[in-house]
Structure 1
Amino acid sequence: MAVAELGVVVLDCPDPIALSRFYRAVLGGTIERDDEGTDWVDLELPGGQALAFQSAPGYVPPEWPDADRSQQFHLDLNVPDLDAAEEAVLRLGAKPLDTEDRSRSFRVYADPAGHPFCLCAC
């Protein structure tokens, strides 16, 4: 029997509203802010999942791949067309990190706050 159930994945970032808008453009969903301002933003995704964004003063983005500033974790985003998805995320402000090997079934990017994520062919 499980001890807990995953509630939400939370990304620390300098600007929760901006980063939630990036991921809304990539994943869809609805942005919901807390009543106190802009320190916490939820992105309610289609299908009932959620991704949250929390303001982190002094935020330092990970360096990929660098053990001294490890990424800690990354998001794998399944897409039907890698080329079309790549074009879209780059237009939205993502930066390519490891996209040279076009024979692989995934490509690695950084979101506007520097968090690594992969587009994965499904």
Structure 2
Amino acid sequence: MIGKLQCVVLDCHYPAGLAHFYGTLLGGEIGRPDPRWSVDDEWSTVHLPDGMVLGFQRVEDYRPPMWPDPAHPQQLHLDIEVEDLAEAEERVLALGAELKDVETGWRVYLDPAGHPFCLLQRAVS
């Protein structure tokens, strides 16, 4: 191993708003003090219950991806496993997500800054 993933960072216009979106979606602590960085108008975080950290940085000329348009690639996306796909969809839409595609067992959404993410139905064992 060469290193350890510190956090996943998403560019956006409004870091605090996107942190709130993902903090509500995934749980965790929004904007928690951390010696690795400052939380301000330019940067916000969500410390997830499993220890992973999502960071959100303000980019002045942010241009969102236009999934699935390859001229404006998605850059990255998050796959989020859920117990009940219909219930999870209702909740993310209420948070400001936009449904973009429906497939069997999963759906693609855009977060409020335009980043694609997927909700995946947890497999029954």
TM-score in terms of structure 2 length:
0.90
Gaps of 5+ in 1: none
Alignment of 1:6-25 (within 5 A): 6-25=5-24
Q: Secondary structure at the match of 2:17?
A: helix
Does the 8 Å contact 2:80/2:117 carry over to 1?
Answer: yes
Q: What is the letter of the counterpart of residue 60 of structure 2? A: P
- Structure 2: distance between partners of 1:78 and 1:35: 30
Q: 1:24-75: CA deviations, max 9, x gaps? A: 1101111126657211111001111111100011100000101100002100
- Structure 2: distance between partners of 1:105 and 1:44: 27
Q: 1:85-116: CA deviations, max 9, x gaps? A: 000000110001102x4xx1110000000000
Aligned to 2:28: 29
Alignment of 1:80-99 (within 5 A): 80-99=83-102
Cα gap change, 1:36 to 1:65, in 2 (>3 Å): closer
Shift of 1:4: 1.3
Alignment of 1:106-117 (within 5 A): 106-117=106-117
Gaps of 5+ in 2: none
- Structure 1: distance between partners of 2:17 and 2:53: 16
Identity rate of aligned residues, in percent? 48
- Structure 1: distance between partners of 2:31 and 2:21: 14
Shift of 1:80: 0.5
TM-score in terms of structure 1 length:
0.92
Does the 8 Å contact 2:39/2:45 carry over to 1?
Answer: no
Aligned to 1:39: 42
Which consecutive segments of 4 or more residues in structure 1 shift more than 2 A? 33-37
Is 1:51 the counterpart of 2:54? The answer is yes
Aligned to 1:121: 121
